[in-house]
Amino acid sequence: MNTLKPEDAARQEYRAGFVTDIESDTLPPGLNEEVIRHISARKEEPDWLLEWRLSAYRHWLKMREPHWAHVEYPPIDYQAISYYSAPKAKGDGPKSLDEVDPKLLETYEKLGIPLREQEMLAGVAVDAVFDSVSVATTFREKLAEAGVIFCPISEAVREYPELVRQYLGSVVPVQDNFFAALNSAVFTDGSFVYVPKGVRCPMELSTYFRINASNTGQFERTLIVADAGAYVSYLEGCTAPMRDENQLHAAVVELIALDDAEIKYSTVQNWYPGDERGVGGIYNFVTKRADCRGARSKVSWTQVETGSAITWKYPSCILRGDDAVGEFYSVALTKMRQQADTGTKMVHLGKRTRSTIVSKGIAAGMGQQSYRGLVRIARGAEGARNYTQCDSLLLGDKCGAHTFPYIEVKEPTAIVEHEATTSRIGEDQLFYCRARGIPEEDAVNLIVNGFCKDVFNELPMEFAVEANRLMEVSLEGAVG
């Protein structure tokens, strides 16, 4: 009789694991003020930004790497990492896709992101970030007609310095945490979005991040500002080649929503997870935070985290404006020896602010999975409400799921609800499906997808299909 063999989960393939053979301009490993000056000069940045980077670096030197997360990894040698790598450009940056190196277009095509096609078929505007630089942004003219700015952040620094200076670091200050400080010192590229007052962005915006070069870190910085009454939906996807050494990815994402603005931010993270022995894989140490600055503003984070050797990530909302709404929908899958410590922070400052947290963790193989969430309701946040639902599903008996909820309520009129469940993938559910003629492996996928449905429903259509597919790929061979 067949039984579940979770250790076989390791046999699945990582489809994005290829390397693009492209000449790149890479800084030698090491970090010091010279490196930062070099990055800043390479990007022709104004003095204020260089100073900002240097102050972040000086803070970072005094900070210690955090170790409170439920993850284990050998010490990181920050001097062994290269902090800048760019595909060698011919002259200036590309003006259109025709000027983009065909090898890069091919890379994105292999990843299932045909930039050219997405340009032809109306629907999604894409910014593609390859190692440290943005290589292509599609649909820019059409967006410009609506007044929406969507461009690499390095370009925004040159073209819209006032906007960048006003908002950069206003949600995640340089000294916020160890990884955020490091990012502020060395960030190379990422996306910048500004949606002006009252504008509903006419299409989904998306950025695909790709780490290609070896021994490099990726430190992208994303800044999204929705002005009063604006709406934008932004998607982010990430992949990397299979390599035996660990690579560091320390990103910072800042979202700002003014009065009545709404930002929907969706992530499908599929960085290389390492192999079944735990060799290689991306260290994904990311700071994502939204400031719901305006009254009735709303930010919704949706994430599907299936990749990375280690994930340390807590997309958060500061609910500053009265009646602001924060949402966090998360599916995290850890298999083989992957570890994830992920969750959210909802900080209620304004009156009648509301937040919803739905977290679904799935652990297979020897994967370790932790939900860590903070709900803080400050005094004066009258009538604030939070609802948290946090479910874990275990496949096999060598994996683990943990829940660390922190609740701090200083406002007597607030209502906070927390529900949590942990279940093993039901032998009964599995047998029920098989007794209806469904092969065991399909049955596991069916049950896991059902478990994640509340979160997948929040994803934009294009991503929901991808997320479903990704979960299937990830569970290929999860049963014997």
Partner 1 sequence: MLKIENLHVRVEDKDILKGINLEVRAGEVHAIMGPNGSGKSTLSNVIAGRPGYTVTEGRILYQGRDLLRLTPEERVWEGIFLAFQYPVEIPGVNNTYLLKAGVNARRRHQGLPELDAMDFMRLVREKAKLVELDPSFLARGVNEGFSGGEKKRNEIFQMAVLEPTLALLDETDSGLDIDALRIVAHGVNQLRSPERAMVLVTHYQRLLDYIEPDVVHVLADGRILKTGDAALAKELETRGYDWVRKEAGI
Closest distance to partner 1 from the beta carbon of 313 (Å): 24
Residue 191 identity: S
Give the nearer residue to partner 1 in terms of CB position, either 336 or 447.
447
Bridge partners, 407 (sequence order):
375
Least separation in angstroms between CB 437 and partner 1: 4
Q: Which of 286, 452, 459, 471 binds partner 1 (CB under 8 A)?
A: 452
End-to-end CA distance of the chain: 11
Query: Does residue 234 contact residue 205 with C-beta atoms inside 8 Å?
Result: yes
Q: Work out which of 203, 214, 449, 462 binds partner 1, going by CB under 8 A.
A: 449
Binding region for partner 1 (CB under 8 A) out of 13-21, 88-96, 371-379, 450-458:
450-458
Write the interaction track for partner 1 spanning residues 15-54; mark x where CB under 8 A is met and - where it is not: ----------------------------------------
Phi, psi of 374 (to 5 degrees): -120, 130
Other Cβ atoms within 10 Å of 11 Cβ, number: 12
Residue 210 token pair? 């790709």
Minimum CB distance to partner 1 smaller for 166 or for 423: 423
**For partner 1, the closer CB: 71 or 433:** 433
Q: Minimal CA–CA distance to 190: which of 141, 261, 263, 255?
A: 255
Say how many residues touch partner 1, by CB under 8 A.
Answer: 26
- Minimum CB separation from partner 1 for residue 423, in Å? 10
Question: Whose Cβ is closer to partner 1: residue 129's or residue 478's?
Answer: 478
- Selected binder of partner 1 within 7, 8, 382, 454 (CB under 8 A): 454
**Minimum CB distance to partner 1, residue 3 (Å):** 6
Ranges of beta strands (E only) in 211-324 are 221-226, 231-239, 246-249, 252-257, 262-269, 281-292, 298-305, 310-313, 316-319
* Sequence letter at residue 99: E
285 is written with which tokens?
């140490």
The alpha carbon of residue 320 and the mean position of all alpha carbons in its chain are separated, in whole angstroms, by 23
Beta-strand pair 400-409/368-377: parallel
Query: Could you give the angle at the alpha carbon of 57 between the alpha carbons of 56 and 61, nearest 5°?
Result: 120
User: Of 67 and 436, which has the nearer Cβ to partner 1?
Assistant: 436
CB of 402 to partner 1, least distance (A): 22
Is 453 among the residues that bind partner 1 (CB under 8 A)? yes
Nearest to 374 by CA among 317, 334, 423: 317
Residue 179, C-beta contacts closer than 8 angstroms, at least 6 positions apart: 66, 250, 285, 286, 287, 312
Q: From the CB of 2, what's the least distance to partner 1, in Å?
A: 6
What's the count of helices (H) and strands (E) in the chain, helices before strands? 11, 23
Half-sphere exposure of 134 (CA within 13 A, CB side): 26
Alpha-carbon dihedral of residues 459, 463, 469, 471, nearest 10 degrees? -50
Phi-psi region of 153 (alpha: psi -120 to 50; beta: other; left: phi over 0): alpha
Contacting range for partner 1; rule: CB under 8 A; set: 1-9, 40-48, 199-207, 371-379: 1-9
Among 2, 32, 96, 166, binds partner 1 (CB under 8 A): 2
User: Which one, 32 or 421, has the nearer CB to partner 1?
Assistant: 421
When the beta carbons of 214 and 449 are compared against partner 1, the nearer one is: 449
> Toward partner 1, which CB reaches closer, 186 or 452?
452
Q: Taking the CA atoms of the chain, what radius of gyration do you get in angstroms?
A: 22
Nearer to partner 1, 98 or 428 (CB): 428
Residue 186, helix vs strand vs coil:
helix
* φ and ψ of 175, to 5 deg: -95, 15
Shortest distance, CB of residue 315 to partner 1, whole angstroms?
23
In the complex, the smallest distance separating the C-beta of residue 5 from partner 1, rounded to whole angstroms, is 13
* Span 387-446, contacts to partner 1 by CB under 8 A: 426-429, 431-440, 442, 446
| Nearer of residues 33 and 440 to partner 1, judged by Cβ | 440
Torsion angle (degrees, nearest 10) of CA 43, 268, 121, 154: -10
Of 2 and 96, the one with the shorter C-beta distance to partner 1 is 2
Least gap, CB of 303 to partner 1 (angstroms): 18
Nearer to partner 1, 347 or 459 (CB): 459
Q: How far is the CB of 391 from partner 1 (least distance, A)?
A: 9
The answer for residues whose C-beta is within 8 angstroms of residue 175's C-beta and 6 or more apart is 56, 59, 63, 181
- Pick from 450, 465, 469, 477: which binds partner 1 (CB under 8 A)? 450
CB of 306 to partner 1, least distance (A): 18
Residue from 447, 459, 464, 470 touching partner 1 (CB under 8 A): that is 447
Least distance from C-beta 358 to partner 1, angstroms? 12
Q: Which residues bind partner 1 (CB under 8 A)?
A: 1-3, 426-429, 431-440, 442, 446-447, 449-454
